[in-house]
Amino acid sequence: MGVLEDKARARLFYRYLSRVYDRINPFVWNEQMRDEAVAMLDIGPDDRVLDVGCGTGFATTALLERTEHVYGLDQSPHQLERAYEKFGRRGPVRFHLGDAERLPFADDTFDVVWSSGSIEYWPNPVATLRELRRVCVPGGQVLVVGPDYPNATVFQKLADAIMLFYDEEEADRMFTEAGFTEFEHHIQQASPKSPRAITTVADVP
């Protein structure tokens, strides 16, 4: 387990990263990549969408262009403070401070569940994917963006020491164990030299 897959360490990490997150994030996960991922989903204007690990609201902004019914959840109060600055505490997004492993929502609450830049911090990814499936309606969609496993050995060792990185084969295993039967992976990249993201779109059975 990487050092940032510990929840307390991850919260401390984001306490400081939240101050510069929106300036650093585009080098790894930019607007074009985000918008391409949103386009992989079938979001209608009446759909309820949950953004798990919403952070400062980078993805939330694009989701709001598809529907007014967007909910955001993050375990970092410092990230949420930045999101409040953008959307307000009682604005168009209903924000929740909470844990992705124990989502504070009933079964079958959302039509779409989105999570970008969060899975790499989950201590138990399979259990958390089950939670995402639980709160999504049958026939809905779950989209998860995480860091693709690097090719170079030296970067692999560094990646394993920090947080979860995974390839398509590992993604197949995690999503299958979480109860998904239909899903597809897409590799996204900000530039040829930047880290790759693996984006999985899964149908909820």
How does pLDDT run across 142-186, given as a tens digit for each residue?
A: 999 999 876 644 344 444 445 678 999 999 999 999 999 999 999
pTM of the model as a whole: 0.85
Output the pLDDT for position 159: 42
* Mean of all residue pLDDT scores within the chain: 86
Query: How far, in Å, CA of 41 to CA of 136, rounded?
Result: 14
Output the pLDDT for position 2: 44
User: pLDDT tens digit string along 116-144?
Assistant: 999 988 989 999 999 999 999 999 999 99
Output the pLDDT for position 47: 98
Output the pLDDT for position 26: 60
Using the predicted structure, report yes or no on whether residue 203 has a pLDDT greater than 50.
yes
Query: How far, in Å, CA of 111 to CA of 126, rounded?
Result: 20
CATH superfamily of 3-203: Vaccinia Virus protein VP39 (3.40.50.150)
- Mean pLDDT over 58-76 rounds to 96
| Sheet arrangement for strand 93-97 | 93-97, 69-74, 48-52, 110-116, 136-147, 196-203, 182-189
Q: How distant, in Å, are the alpha carbons of 85, 113, 179 from that of 64?
A: 16, 13, 28
